[in-house]
Amino acid sequence: KLIRELPTLENLLNVLCSNSSIDKAYLFDTLTKIYIATDSSPVDMQSYEICSDMIDVCIDVECIYGAQGMSPNNLSLSDTPDRHHGLLLDGHQTPVSIDQDQIDPDAQSLERRLIEHQQQQTTSSDAEASSLIKLDNGDVLYMREVNRLLVLICLLRQDNFEKHGLIDYNFQCFKEAVTEVFEFSRKRNTQQQQQQQQQ
């Protein structure tokens, strides 16, 4: 288990996939290009490698054409908060919950980066990074940034992408939910540190 928030992130990805006709979704750490969460459908290594390679493609393109002041290890990312708090399907929303299992010690650095980023978040007028790649087999790779550290990459059929308005809306809801998850973790960690200092 990579991070404490994994079960919640998996649940959010499951809802996103079912509500948006997405075949597979990965939430990637942009620095390491390792996925920290995916939906519950079986992981196909070929699809994972394609999604991971997509990050490299986007970074290479951005290094040639794109955002000023960006490191090759990062995509340009927008931290503008969204207003939606659940994934939409026929007006229903999915609440966010936190799993309290013990975290893998080897993953503390990743979780710390995600939580510290949440603390440092500021609003930005920059456009969100996104990318669309159409594959020869009729599938579509669709990437959207969640924040400066995370990107969502989805694999879906090209005809299902015709509903991209719904997909984009559900992504905004997903992004807000992920933001809330790590904000909750940041506040919890702050409270725990304060309690330890008082003891």
Bridge partners (DSSP) of residue 143 are 131, 153
Question: How far is 192 from 182, CA to CA, in rounded Å?
Answer: 15
Q: Where are the domains of the chain?
A: 6-198
Name 119's bridge partners: none
Using CA atoms, how far apart are residues 110 and 153, in angstroms rounded to an integer? 19
pLDDT-derived band at 13, boundaries 50, 70, 90? very high
Res 61: pLDDT: 82
What b/e readout covers 140-174, taking b as 16+ CB neighbours within 10 angstroms?
Answer: bbbbbbbbbbbbbbbbbeeebbeeeeebebbbbbb
Domain 6-198 listed as CATH 3.30.413.10: no
Q: What is the pLDDT of residues 158-186, one digit of tens each?
A: 999 988 899 999 999 999 999 998 888 88
Query: Is the whole-model pTM more than 0.75?
Result: no
